[in-house]
Amino acid sequence: MSGSPLSLASEAFRTGRPRPALTALGALSLPLARAHELTGSSRHALALLLAAATEGPVLWIVPAWAPGRLYPDSVAEWIEPGRLIQATPKRAEDLLWCMEEALRAGVVPVVVAELPAPPPLTPVRRLHLAAETGASLGRCAPLGLILSTGSGGAAGVETRWHMASRHGPGVTAWHLERRRARLDPPRAWRLSRDADGRLSLDPALLEPETAGA
């Protein structure tokens, strides 16, 4: 058994110990073997930021009819592009099915799904159960990331996050918020990247929610 957070979480499910969480940049914490929602114009970047805190493949599920795709150059700003596996279901109902089955297998550390609309409570509960099964029976405790447009609203998710760009002349930065969490209060940060590619996270003020931000 390796000492990675994902393998330790899998072991925790087998032994009944408290569930570990994925931690990124020292302050962002997402419980493993659960489904989380990412929103905002920079939600894709946030998913890649979280994936960078893990090892192994990243399954990215996107509708076959979606107009855009992830470009290797943009992916490479966060993770090695070779880690990314893209699945493109042709039917809307297959998006959540693919995510659920991948989480249940417990072999892919991060499963991302771009959804046309936030899912209701029952499908989200199924994702939680599938991720817990994967953690108990698979090789790792998978992290499920639902990417929703606007302000999101997936029912029953473990946490909800929002990230939007705040770039300017010579500045690469984002505004990041934890808008919902079962165990933590709302909080905001300024995420920035310097000229050498190093990321830093600093406290910020919560901003009013707007659907298009």
Instruction: Give the pLDDT confidence of 21-63 residue by residue, as tens digits.
Output: 999 999 999 999 999 999 999 999 999 999 999 999 999 999 9
| SS3 (DSSP) at 55 | coil
| SS3 (DSSP) at 81 | helix
For residue 69, the model assigns a pLDDT of 79
Radius of gyration of the chain (CA): 16
**pTM of structure:** 0.90
The alpha helices in the chain, defined as continuous H runs, are 5-15, 43-51, 72-75, 93-105, 121-137
Instruction: Give the pLDDT confidence of 63-88 residue by residue, as tens digits.
Output: 999 887 788 889 999 999 999 999 99
Q: What is the mean pLDDT of residues 11-25?
A: 72
For residue 2, the model assigns a pLDDT of 44
Q: Six-digit token pair at 177? A: 């918020």
CA separation for the pair 7, 2 (Å, rounded): 6
Q: Do residues 164 and 39 make contact, with C-beta atoms less than 8 angstroms apart?
A: no
121-134 b/e (C-beta count within 10 Å ≥ 16 → b) = eebbebbbebbbbb
The H-or-E segment that residue 113 falls in is strand 110-114
Taking all residues of the chain, what is their mean pLDDT, rounded to a whole number?
91
For the chain, list the domains and their CATH numbers: 5-15+31-65+77-161 (3.40.50.300)
Q: Which residue has the higher pLDDT, 2 or 134?
A: 134
